[in-house]
Chain A
Amino acid sequence: MTGVKLSNKKLEKENKVHAIKKSIKNNWDLYLLLLLPVTYFLVFKYRPMAGLIIAFKNYKFNLGYWRSPWASAFGFGNFIRFFQNAYFSEIMWNTLSLSLLQLICSFPVPILLAVIMNELRSKSLKKGLQLITYAPHFISTVILVAIMEAMMNPNTGVFNALITACGGEAVYFFGKPEYFRPMYILSGIWQNSGYSSIIYLAALSNIDPQLIESARIDGANRLQIIRSITLPALIPTAVILLIMNSGKVMSVGFEKVYLMQNTMNVRASEVISTYVYKSGIESAQFSYSTAVGLFNSVINIVLLLIVNQVSKKLTETSLW
């Protein structure tokens, strides 16, 4: 009995090996094509991951990655130094509050926009709205921040011209920490909502028209149709995007924060990535800043895994 089973297994295994050999022989040119891309990922993505080891060392340029001495506290000295930094809680708070606020404020906007586009009966109006709202996505971060700085300049900007015309006092928006987060989030909504709505529009185009028609025959008005057909159809897409975004909660885009930052609003605008840039590139504390960055990435991936699991349980939608 067991002998037969064993030989069956052996046969299966042999067949499998044979199939693999055949596949490799038939597809050798596919492997050849993959050679360059795989080399790219090894060199530019995985090799730096090996470089992460310096987070646990005191990296010295002349000693290299491997011979540099280990950091104190069993290699965790750099991490401990960051936790004990006087600005640690401020940086953490800035990072978390900025990205969470951004997630909460900007997440619903593309959904609403897609619903509005979907409800427009005039095709040309819909096309026009799409053309206009997608456009800001293609403006670079440098330009976006430049537009904001120009329009909000206390002396020459149009916003302050409006405020003073209404009898108010000109505000130096970029110089006040309390304006940093609202400016960051609102400009993000302006720039990305249109583009992000495309994916929801795609989901809406998959709704069966008969479903809507029968709802109409049952006497539903359009608001009721939105509530009970359109919005539920968007939930799976929304959940996937929410999971994806939650994996980025700790990594607010470096570029925009860095570009909007100045010495006056730094109390609100110093986030982990700008701190890594300053302590790493500007002050050349490579080990310390690598540790801070690694701490950041690990939290990101843990958050992603948690949200993915929770969503798997609750909605049966998950990334993998």
Chain B
Amino acid sequence: MKSVSARRKGGFIHETGFDMVFDIVIILIAVLLSLLVLYPLIYVVSASFSNPLSITRGEVWLLPKQITLNAYQSIITNQDLLSGFKNTVVIAVLGTLINLVMTTCCAYPLSRKEMFGHNTITVFITFTMFFSAGMIPNYLLIRDLNLLDNTLALILPGSISVYNMLIMRNYFQNSIPEDLFGAAKIDGCNNIQTLVKVVLPLSKSIIAVMVIFYAVGHWNAYFDSLLYMSSKDKFPLQLVLRRLLLESQALQDDTGIGQHMAESSLAFVSIQYAVIVVSSLPVLILYPLLQKYFVQGVMIGAVKG
């Protein structure tokens, strides 16, 4: 805010022709960039509402042609997709809950500098950020724990993201006045009571940040389920999606262009777009509402700690 007004004032004194041209160029670039980023998203939505025949003829390039809801009708009855949705909602809710509890239990003690050994424990934990055992030892661990093909295998191994934990610790350290801890102590609170009664009520914004980071992560997770899951009815959304899209891709590759395509594989052309829209919808609808929180999260994370 301040910098804008300062610049305006300066500009009032020194506004040159060059700066005016510069302004216009910047605006043009900004608009162009926005369009470039938006285009694929708009196209996908338009294609999902279009008649597949007009997609294959290349008539759809921005707005939907021959609007139809056929694609959506055929996917809401798809059992695999439905069960994928259900599984992912369960994983996201349960997983995020565990993430929140575990991350708080880790971040809060590490934020208290008077605790003996907090540095050593921090090093012990952040080390895992830079060095991990890798895919196969992790897989063997899940197998040894008898968690293969168990939904818990998609939740427990990622209970704490070190990066998120450090963001939360930084928040506890920098955004909660040190006096409050002293006051709570005088009132006879132990550390856990202080956490519950004083710290957490003041940490709603950081909790929101954590919920978003973790929940989006669960919603979009694919790799772990590829590694660990084998029963179809336990597959999360992304894995179901991948299999569905591979099927449709294979159908499109096998058959010829446009009119020569079989009716069923033609339908797949718009179905794949509808599937993309439906599965990213929850995240993209919530996204504008939540934007300020994750920007905040990145900013807190940027404070070196």
Please report A residues at the B interface, Cβ cutoff 8 Å.
19-20, 23-24, 26-27, 29-34, 36-38, 40-41, 43-49, 51-52, 54, 113, 116-117, 119-123, 125, 128-136, 138-143, 146-147, 149-151, 153-156, 158, 161-162, 164-165, 190, 194-195, 198-199, 202-203, 205, 207, 209-210, 212-213, 216-217, 219, 221-223, 237, 240, 247, 254-255, 259, 273, 276-277, 280-281, 286, 289-290, 293-294, 296-297, 300-301, 304
Q: Which residues of A contact B186 (CB under 8 A)?
A: none
Which of B61, B135, B136, B242 has most chain A Cβ within 10 Å?
B136
Q: A125-B27, A133-B34, A212-B10 are in contact. Are A293 and B134 (CB under 8 A)?
A: yes
Cross-chain contact A135 with B37 (CB below 8 angstroms): yes
Cross-chain contact A222 with B6 (CB below 8 angstroms): no
Cross-chain contact B291 with A281 (CB below 8 angstroms): no
B side interface size, CB within 8 A = 107
- Chain A residue, CB-CB nearest to B298: A198
Check if B252 is an interface residue, CB within 8 A of chain A. yes
Cross-chain contact B13 with A41 (CB below 8 angstroms): no
Cross-chain contact B114 with A27 (CB below 8 angstroms): yes
- CB A163 to nearest CB in B, in angstroms, measures 10
- Chain B residue, CB-CB nearest to A45: B128
Cross-chain contact B37 with A155 (CB below 8 angstroms): no
- Chain A residue, CB-CB nearest to B227: A281
Cross-chain contact A34 with B106 (CB below 8 angstroms): yes
Task: List B residues 129-176 near A (Cβ within 8 Å).
Answer: 130-141, 156-157, 159-160
Q: Which residues of B contact A120 (CB under 8 A)?
A: 26-27, 30
Q: A147-B276, A158-B60, A297-B132 are in contact. Are A116 and B19 (CB under 8 A)?
A: no
Cross-chain contact B222 with A153 (CB below 8 angstroms): no
- CB A179 to nearest CB in B, in angstroms, measures 16
- CB A206 to nearest CB in B, in angstroms, measures 10
Q: A48-B141, A212-B10 are in contact. Are A161 and B61 (CB under 8 A)?
A: yes
Bound-state CA distance A217–B13 (Å) is: 8
Q: Which residues of A contact B108 (CB under 8 A)?
A: 30, 33
Question: What is the total of A-B residue contacts with beta carbons within 8 Å?
Answer: 292
Cross-chain contact B109 with A47 (CB below 8 angstroms): no
- CB A109 to nearest CB in B, in angstroms, measures 10
- Chain A residue, CB-CB nearest to B268: A156
Q: A140-B220, A146-B241, A164-B58 are in contact. Are A116 and B26 (CB under 8 A)?
A: yes
Q: Which residues of A contact B114 (CB under 8 A)?
A: 23, 26-27
- CB A248 to nearest CB in B, in angstroms, measures 10
Check if B182 is an interface residue, CB within 8 A of chain A. no
Cross-chain contact B6 with A290 (CB below 8 angstroms): no
Cross-chain contact B191 with A30 (CB below 8 angstroms): yes
21 contacts between A and B (CB under 8 A): A23-B116, A30-B191, A33-B106, A33-B195, A36-B102, A41-B124, A45-B133, A48-B132, A48-B140, A51-B140, A119-B26, A120-B30, A128-B34, A136-B41, A140-B219, A155-B253, A156-B55, A161-B58, A162-B58, A198-B295, A221-B22
